[in-house]
Amino acid sequence: MSVQDSLNALWEKYRLIQQEGLLLNIERGQPGDENFKLSSPLFTCVDETDVKTEEGFDIRNYPGGVKGILEMRRLAAEILDVKPEETIVGNNSSLKMLSEVLSFALLKGLNGSPAPWCKLDSPKLIVTVPGYDRHFTLASALGFKLLTVPMTGTGPDVELVARFAESDETVKGIILVPTYANPTGETISVEAAQRLVSLKALAKDFTIFADEAYVVHHLGDTIPERLNLLRASEKAGYPNRVYLFSSTSKITFAGAGLGFLASSLANIEYLAQLYSTQYICPNKVEQYRHAKFLKAYPGGIAGLMREHAKILKPKFDAALRVLERELAPAGLATWTRPLGGYFISLNTTKPVAKRVVELAKEAGVSVTPAGATFPFGEDPANSNIRIAPTRPPLAELEKAMEVLCLCIKLASAEWDAQQKA
């Protein structure tokens, strides 16, 4: 069959799909309704007779401090593998807490900074690509110049990170997702993590902003080996270099969870003083409810995450099955096979990602915009597509993946025809 005949046949299949009036979404990494049902006891686990924390604070009143209630700090410490006193529990999301720490860094400097970062003409942050679009948006909105380093399959290219940090004192840090990175799903290797915490940056306050959004989001029993960044940084002689961030956003309710961070005791005290100028206490009611629910769940946090995995793994398996069946024979794309997290990262063999997303939209399937995994939406290879299989029911997901694969075939055939023209 000629290139043009193949293209015509694909167009015929595509137009039949368009007639179905689909409205499917694999765009954002959202939990499904079945995931939310696991946390329904949050609505009822506290009532008017249960308002005192372990330390005797009334959750309805102001006292209690800005670091969060002890019960929830213990759980945050369990998730991040640190000590409770090394944590601050705040509101809603890890991204929110990251934005606050970056803002503090710009306006006041971090603990040990020689000056506020805004005093520099162009403070720089290293980001990973493909990476998390909201990290790019946040950092650039705050005025940081972004330096990109590629992901390698075992985390960011740490030698390139080192070259940036060791040659320019305006490079103030790196933002990364160490465990099950967004969107590639890879986990930074022990060797790469050790190199990262040990590098001799020109900036005395070079900082690792580690967004551990998916650190407990395993899809199965195979869990990659990880280096404890906080402890490793201490041993390397940089005790204040690492800030860890995480949240309950995909553990309980995505829009009504808790954010938390961890760092050295000195950093925690420094941040607590700054937070105390903004508010008297965080939402202790929400923290208390989460603490009671998560402690009471069979198996605790690990038990709850196993139940999430039972819902999510079949979706990942289905998405990967469709990709293998539809795209592997012709070699039209490559993709990741994550052990955890919320995404599959796909790279088209030909530079057609934008066209694929456009075709998918016109066929009724919403996909993350092409280029979103690169700063300013510019993927130089025009190939990366982030797939979020977590939200739709299984049957809808399989249909969305089949449509996406058809769009990849069609866009690739168009590209081939243009090359022959």
Comparison of pLDDT for 421 and 77, the residue scoring more: 77
Measured CA to CA, the distance from residue 259 to residue 248 in angstroms comes to 7
Query: What is the CATH number that goes with domain 3-30+302-420?
Result: 3.90.1150.10
Provide the sign of the torsion angle of the four alpha carbons 339, 341, 347, 348, taken in this order.
positive
Residue with tokens 């996909």: 367
| Residue 55, pLDDT score | 96
- Tally of residues, the chain: 421
CB–CB of 274/54 below 8 Å?
Answer: no
Measured CA to CA, the distance from residue 349 to residue 172 in angstroms comes to 35
Output the six-digit token pair for 148: 């990109």
Query: What is the CATH number that goes with domain 53-300?
Result: 3.40.640.10
Measured CA to CA, the distance from residue 26 to residue 253 in angstroms comes to 19
Measured CA to CA, the distance from residue 126 to residue 148 in angstroms comes to 6
* 250-282 tens-digit pLDDT: 999 998 999 999 999 999 999 999 999 999 999
Phi, psi of 150 (to 5 degrees): -75, 150
Average pLDDT, the chain: 97
Instruction: Indicate the pTM of the whole model.
Output: 0.96
| Residue 3, pLDDT score | 75
Could you state, in order of their start, the residue ranges of all structural domains in the chain? 3-30+302-420, 53-300
Residue with tokens 């998560």: 294
CB–CB of 37/311 below 8 Å?
Answer: no
